[in-house]
Amino acid sequence: MSKPFAVFDIDGTIIRWQMFHAVIDKLAKQGTISPKTYQKIQEARRQWRVRTHEESFMEYELTLVGYFKDTLKGLSVAAHNQAAQEVFEEYKDQVYRYTRGLIKELKAKGYVLLAISGSPAEAVTPFAKYYGFDDFVASQYGNNGIVYTGEVVSPVGKKDQALKQLIQKHGLEVQGSIGVGDSEGDIAMLELVAHPIAFNPSKKLLAHTKQKGWKLVIERKNVVYELSNQDGVYVLED
């Protein structure tokens, strides 16, 4: 008999920051990324933080990914692994209370726990093990054991495809499944599960959530608001 499963995005859904962004910061501190490149990344981040326009975060992420790809070839595997480990140690417990509790609850109920993240596998692997995920998908980059070749082996661009592969791999049933995400990049993944949850959603995910009537959860400071759709109106759950 197939077990129920739950799939989680990680960055901004479980941890309170973005692993990929944090890895870049660590590499900059190592001197692995040039100060000039890092200055451009920081400027894009500043534009997002002052909310210059609605797409500023997306522009910041595209800038970050672009510069990482530019510096990937020749990047030391040891340096990247060190940065990823430092990020794990710093952020492993800086998580949202709601999703941390949900993971614990579902694991106790026998759910197969899955994670899908666009962050590097080097950073996702220790995190997934720490929280007891049964399997995960993350971005992988080609290397020869010493330096990265510049090849993006397995990018995570379409999370729905990644989830379909995990479902097939483990022989899982969609009935009773749960999915949690926080951005528009998670929409296709959430469409595949029986019980989607939009957690602290971006504007586009919020609009889609309201259209579909999905569950909505907001965590701010020490308060968690769980809202469900009742006849087209979102109400606070007991």
**pLDDT tens sequence across 112-146:** 999 999 888 999 999 999 999 999 999 999 999 99
pLDDT at 155 over 60: no
CATH of the domain at 44: 3.40.50.1000
Residue 33 has φ and ψ, to the nearest 5°, of -100, 135
pLDDT at 156 over 70: no
Q: Which of 166, 86, 158 is nearest to 126 (CA)?
A: 86
Averaged pLDDT of the chain: 91
pLDDT score recorded for residue 55 = 76
Least confident range of 1-5, 130-134, 205-209, 224-228: 1-5
**pLDDT tens sequence across 25-72:** 999 999 888 888 889 888 888 888 887 777 778 788 888 888 888 888
How many structural domains does the chain have?
A: 1
pLDDT score recorded for residue 209 = 97
Query: For residues 123 and 27, is the Cβ–Cβ distance under 8 A?
Result: no
Segment 198-222 shows an average pLDDT of: 95
Segment 99-122 shows an average pLDDT of: 95
Segment 185-199 shows an average pLDDT of: 97
Find residue 144's DSSP bridge partners. Answer: none
Interaxial angle between packed helices 121-130 and 19-30, expressed in degrees from 0 to 180 and rounded to the nearest 10 = 120
For residue 96, the enclosing domain spans 5-236
pTM of the model: 0.92
pLDDT score recorded for residue 154 = 66
Q: What percent of the chain has pLDDT over 70?
A: 98
**What CA–CA distances, in Å, run from 227 to 224, 230, 234, 235?**
10, 9, 6, 5
